[in-house]
Amino acid sequence: MFEFNPEKHYPKETESRVVIRFQDCDPLQHLNNAKYFDYFFNAREDQVPKLYGLEMIDMIQKYKAAWVVYNHNISYVRPARVGEWIRIMSRLLWYNNNTVVLEYYMTDDSKKELKTLLWTTMRYVTIKEGKSTDHTGGVLDFLKATSENLDISDISISERVKTLKQKLAEG
């Protein structure tokens, strides 16, 4: 379970290095559009316990609530190809009392070329009733410690693509 430690530095971004698998690709040897989601979600699921000492299932069981997806916004910039090593980064971009926005992006192995950007918006809901509920306790501590908490109200995903591409080009 996540225990906030004010002396500890919590990285805001996770990173994984993975290879694009043949079975996940289309006949053009590009990663299938639907498979990007699997790669993104699996990378974050692998990294969160390592970086923060948190298994999401423990938090779900303790607080009897979980996040459910209600929006994806994805921009495919460059294809990921079969056999290619890629990097997947994720971060908690923004949150409020009952909603979070996670940002995932994929680059080539050298982190110079942006391939895909995904924003996933999720609502925090009770397990039993499926009703929206507020982030509290350790959940709120986790969000505060790990979030960029950027004001994204005036940022479009296409603007974010441009920003990330520029950041990657600058190294």
Mean pLDDT of 161-169: 96
**Which residue type does 107 have?**
T
Residue pair 114/168 in contact (Cβ under 8 Å)? The answer is yes
pTM of the model: 0.94
Within a domain: residue 8?
no
49 Rama sector, left if φ>0, alpha if ψ -120 to 50, beta otherwise = alpha
Q: Single out the residue of 47, 112, 118, 103 nearest to residue 85, CA to CA.
A: 112
Strands 99-108 and 114-126, bridge-based pairing: antiparallel
Q: Give the pLDDT confidence of 101-151 residue by residue, as tens digits.
A: 999 999 999 999 999 999 999 999 999 999 999 999 999 999 999 998 899
pLDDT band, residue 1 (cuts 50/70/90)? low
User: 9: which strand partners?
Assistant: none
| Residue range(s) defining the domain that contains residue 31 | 13-170
**Is residue 171 over pLDDT 80?**
yes
- Identify the pLDDT of residue 14: 96
Within a domain: residue 164?
yes
pLDDT band, residue 5 (cuts 50/70/90)? confident
Q: Single out the residue of 126, 107, 108, 142 nearest to residue 5, CA to CA.
A: 142
The CATH number of the domain holding residue 161 is 3.10.129.10
Residue pair 143/92 in contact (Cβ under 8 Å)? The answer is yes
* CA–CA gap between residue 145 and residue 107 (Å, rounded): 25
**Is residue 92 over pLDDT 90?**
yes
Within a domain: residue 2?
no
Q: Helix, strand, or coil here: 63?
A: helix
Within a domain: residue 137?
yes
Total of domains in the chain: 1
**Is residue 2 over pLDDT 80?**
no
